[in-house]
Amino acid sequence: MPANLTPQYFETEKKLKTAKTHQEKIKILDELLSLVPKHKGTEKLQALLKTKIAKLKSAAQKKPTIAKYGPTYRIEKAGAGQIVLVGPPNAGKSMLVKSITNANPEIGEYPFTTRMPSPAMMTYQNTQIQLIDAPPITPEYMEAWYPELIKGADGILFLLDLGSPDQINVFQVLVSKLKEKKIEIVTKDHSVPPENKDFFKKALIVANKIDLSSAEENFLSLKKALEPEFNLISVSAFRGDNLEELKKKIFIFLDVLRVYSKVPGKKIDFNEPYILKKGSTLMDMAKVVHKDFARKLKYARIWSKNKYQGQKVNRDYILEDEDVIELHI
């Protein structure tokens, strides 16, 4: 049965391309839903619009918040994943956050400028990733709430200072302080069972201040000691060296993928991907899109970068990054 959409519907639909905020998009989608004729031929379109509205309302409510319970801080996750920045005093954590996010944290040349965890959102292509700027750790002191903050995160970014020698010893001190609180740092190839994810954390090691004169020699020493067991990259948060490459590494480090939902006969919206863990199946995506798709799914068509061009796939199909999925119920 044809949808018989009105010219007013298509004119309103064009406004979505220029809408910037969640609230603007929700308002336009609500208007579109009111303009859709209510009959069997538009049931899928109505379901899609309702799903988009629900997704935007959920995203709008997921503002990073900090709740304090005694000595403990809990930061609600937002975006594709949450990474906590860990490092010694004056390694440049706040400068790095300022350089790769829209946040504007206090930056000072004195230790412990950062006194409490502060969330910020980093954009990588069409994906938002949450970074937590946290106070420094020293051999003598670590905030009592630090372990709980790290347990709830998806991973750790260790930031080391190439302006100072013997950063491998600094790294070992940081690892040791976390181990005292039952948090183990594991290598990049280590498989962590879901039940142990709070106590075993993978780490990305970022060596900052590559722009300084002694930095290259210090970085080579770090590489010799830590590669290939850990992911390692050198950057300059001040000058901007390798920051785009760092964003890519953080996305890869999260071990997630992006998939896009396609409505039959419509253009694909590449601005709002669904974020799923690597290894997720077509049915995992269907559950995220809407419970009706998971319950009534008959088949799906898929478009991928290297293999599929609209072929049918079954429910057990393993998704890959940037797959385009057309669900049919």
* Domain of residue 178, CATH code: 3.40.50.300
Same domain? 317 vs 196 = no
DSSP string, 121-152: EEEETTEEEEEEE-----SS---TTHHHHHHT
Q: DSSP 3-state assignment of 275?
A: strand
Q: DSSP 3-state assignment of 327?
A: strand
d(CA 244, CA 215): 20
* Domain of residue 313, CATH code: 3.10.20.30
List the beta bridge partners of residue 10: none
Same domain? 225 vs 207 = yes
Same domain? 239 vs 263 = no
d(CA 329, CA 59): 26
Same domain? 144 vs 45 = no
Which residues lie closer than 8 Å to 85 by C-beta, 6 or more apart?
93, 96, 97, 131, 132, 133, 134, 157, 159
Which of 195, 219, 253 terminates a domain? The answer is: 253
Same domain? 166 vs 195 = yes
Same domain? 176 vs 228 = yes
pLDDT value, residue 69: 46
The DSSP H or E segment spanning 186 is strand 184-186
Same domain? 263 vs 283 = yes
Which of 253, 287, 313 terminates a domain? The answer is: 253
d(CA 228, CA 244): 22
Same domain? 117 vs 210 = yes
pLDDT by residue, tens only, the chain of 329 residues? 566 788 788 888 888 877 777 778 888 888 888 888 888 788 888 888 888 888 877 676 554 554 544 445 678 898 999 999 999 999 999 999 999 998 876 665 544 455 688 899 999 999 999 999 999 999 998 988 899 999 999 999 999 999 998 899 999 999 999 999 999 999 888 888 888 899 999 999 999 999 999 899 999 999 999 999 998 999 999 999 999 999 999 999 999 999 998 888 788 888 889 999 999 999 998 888 877 777 888 888 999 887 888 899 888 899 999 999 988 87
Which residues lie closer than 8 Å to 222 by C-beta, 6 or more apart?
160, 162, 167, 168, 171, 205, 207, 232
Same domain? 88 vs 110 = yes
Same domain? 146 vs 182 = yes
Look at the chain and report how many structural domains it folds into. 3
Same domain? 248 vs 291 = no
Which of 253, 276, 293 terminates a domain? The answer is: 253
d(CA 62, CA 56): 10
Nearest CA to 52 out of 265, 273, 264 is that of 273
pLDDT value, residue 73: 65
d(CA 12, CA 28): 7
Same domain? 5 vs 102 = no
| Domain extent for 96 | 66-253
pLDDT value, residue 121: 95
pLDDT value, residue 60: 61
The count of other CB atoms within 10 Å of the CB of residue 62 is 15
